[in-house]
Amino acid sequence: MVSQHGILLADNIISDHFGPIVSKVCGCLLRHGALSLLEIVRRLELSPRQVKNSLLILIQHNCVQAYTSPRGGGDKTVTLYLAIFDNVLHRLRFSKFLSVVRVDIPESEVLLEGLLQNGRLTFEQLVERTIFKVPEGSPLPTREEIRMNFNKLVYAHYVERCPKPEPFFDPLAVEQPTSTRKRAPKTVETVLSLEQKVVCTAALSDAERFSQIPYLMEGSSSANDGHHAVAGNKRKHEALEVDEEDSIIAESEVLWRINFERFIFCLKKKFCAERKKAKMRLGTLAIWEAFFEANVTNNDNKTVTSPIDGILERVGQKEGGTSMTLDQIISVLNDLECTSTTNNPEEFTFDLNKLVETCRNDEIESLVKKKHGQEAYTIFRLLLKQGCPVETDEITDRTILDKQVVHETLYKLWKDEYIDSEGVGLVPYRHMHPVTTPSVVHLSVCYTLDLLIKNLKFKMV
């Protein structure tokens, strides 16, 4: 569930980018969850046309996902609209997304810009836009060139085919055990929110999502001219026609959009690589950098994986790297929490989410320290480390702090919503546990961004 401050921020972003009416519709969906067109109209007292147009804009910009859901007991269905909160917030990161591509595939930047500005486009529309944007006097890029640049974006998973426009999703249907096992491979069963479930249902398979626009075979255009095909060549000719048809469909009918997950992964990766550098011990920095440079593209957006050969090669190129032995490098990699599995000892994997979680905790800890002092910091860290409610007396014992101080500090932390407390039966002591989902951070972030948007005319691309 999105916090009130989060909704406020999302409202402001949409209002700044698309105006007040669209923002009203988006805010309504964020506050009330999935709604049908009629329900939105009733709640907002806007005309159906206005709501419909707003929804179209929101869908076009990937902020809303529509889905069909059963209504009543019969076969009747209703189309519901669900706001995708994360995608709204991603709008603030568009300039960062552009900078990622600027470094990686500079020639494709203009194409990505088109997708960021317009949300969803067909390749045909992208070509028109690109040609239109070319400054006067410069040579016009050929369609083949644009296609090549576009396919590079698809190949790097920066761009994907849009999800299903209106998948069927029944929230009451019991989930099949196989699907849950697939999502949660370990014993911890992750509970997915409605938003995540709908997004999962709408998503295409990876093969579909990232299938590039097929290249036309050389001379295929000339094949259109004359039909003097020899009988033996008939099969080949048919195949060519199918390819051509596919290509035309992929170019003019398939909608494309940016792949948010991939960009978030790139930004996380960059952040993690930089973040750890500050605490590196002597000699480990080269290995850390080599690990990230040797990263192979994988579909997993949570981990960075590099083969040991690649790491070795890059370590060798660095200063002092030639003198390092394989054992040394492996031990440093293990120390840096880059692990290899027994199935594949040649590849090392680093969990980005784990580091991001640690960094998030570091941030909150430093806030607690600055605001409430050293004692609060110690107590907060203890609660965070335990990861479960801890009794007040146990906190006193384990932190070796004065009982009075502990009580006062716990109250201050609780008042500021850094920690939560729960009573246990009739026991007068309270169990304290930290609020790690940063509702407090949200609060400050909201205010910060809100002001940035309002005062500095912080416009997105």
Partner 1 sequence: MPPRKRPAPPPEEPSPSSKPQPDAQPSEPSKPSPDSEQPTISATILAQLPSQERLAYKLIFEAGNKGMWMLDIRKKLLMGPNIATKVVRTLVTQGLIKEVSDVRHRSRKIFMATDFQPSVEITGGTWYHNGRLDTDAVTTARRCCQAQVERLGAATAQMIHHGILKDDPRAGYTIDKIRDIIKTMVLDKVLEEVKSTGTGEFTTVRAGTMCYRLVTGAPQGGMMEGIPCGVCPRIDECSPEGIISPSTCVYYKKWLQMDF
Query: Where do contacts with partner 1 occur on this chain (CB under 8 A)?
Result: 8, 275, 278-279, 281, 331, 334-335, 359, 362-367, 370-371, 374, 377-378, 381-382, 385, 393, 397-404, 441, 443-444, 447-448, 450-451, 454-456
Dist. CA 450–CA 388, nearest whole Å: 34
The residue (of 341 and 366) whose beta carbon lies closer to partner 1 is 366
CB 147, CB 213: distance < 8 Å: yes
Please state the closest distance from residue 220 (CB atom) to partner 1, in A: 54
Dihedral sign for Cα atoms in the order 39, 43, 49, 50: negative
Residue 131 CA to residue 121 CA, distance in Å, equals 15
Per the document, the length of the chain is 461
* Minimum separation from the CB atom of position 402 to partner 1 (A): 4
Nearest approach, Cβ of residue 168 and partner 1 (Å): 40
Closer to partner 1 by CB, 58 or 272: give it. 272
CB 354 within 8 A of CB 429: no
Residue whose CB is less far from partner 1, 99 or 125: 99
Q: How far apart are CA 329 and CA 359, in angstroms?
A: 25
Q: Output 193 or 334, the one with its CB closest to partner 1.
A: 334
CB closer to partner 1 out of 166 and 450: 450
Q: Compute the least distance from the CB of residue 355 to partner 1, in Å.
A: 11
Task: Name the minimum Å distance from CB 446 to partner 1.
Answer: 9
The answer to whether the beta carbons of residues 34 and 117 sit under 8 Å apart is: no
3-state secondary structure of 49: helix
CA-wise closest residue to 429 among 441, 437, 421, 417: 421
Compare residues 180 and 448 and give the one whose CB is closer to partner 1. Answer: 448
Task: Give me the helices (H) in 72-108, please.
Answer: 85-90, 94-104
**Cα separation, 199 vs 364, whole angstroms:** 30
- Rounded to a whole number of angstroms, the minimum distance from the CB of residue 353 to partner 1 is 17
End-to-end CA distance of the chain: 28
Least distance in angstroms from the C-beta of 449 to partner 1: 10
Distance of CA 241 to the CA centre of its chain: 38
Q: How far is the CB of 366 from partner 1 (least distance, A)?
A: 4
As measured in angstroms, the least distance from the Cβ of 445 to partner 1 is 8
Task: Enumerate the β-bridge partners of residue 257.
Answer: 160
Least Å distance, CB 314 to partner 1, is 22
| Cβ nearer to partner 1, comparing 241 with 397 | 397
The strand pairing partners of 258, in sequence order, are: 159
Q: Assign 3-class secondary structure to 316-381.
A: HHCCCCCCCCHHHHHHHHHHCCCECCCCCCCEEEEEHHHHHHHHHHHHHHHHHHHHHHHHHHHHHH
User: Nearer to partner 1 by C-beta: 49 or 281?
Assistant: 281
Distance separating alpha carbons of residues 349 and 296, to the nearest angstrom? 10
Which of 29, 21, 27 shows the shortest CA–CA distance to 49?
21
Nearer to partner 1, 164 or 275 (CB): 275
Q: Give whole-number Cα distances, 447 to 84, 418, 451, in Å.
A: 21, 18, 6
Question: Cα separation of 408 and 432, whole Å?
Answer: 13
**Shortest Å distance, C-beta 374 to partner 1:** 7
- Rank residues 43 and 371 by Cβ distance to partner 1 and give the closer one: 371
Q: Which is nearer to partner 1, 163 or 321 (CB)?
A: 321
Among residues 204, 221, 291, the alpha carbon closest in space to that of 255 is found at: 204
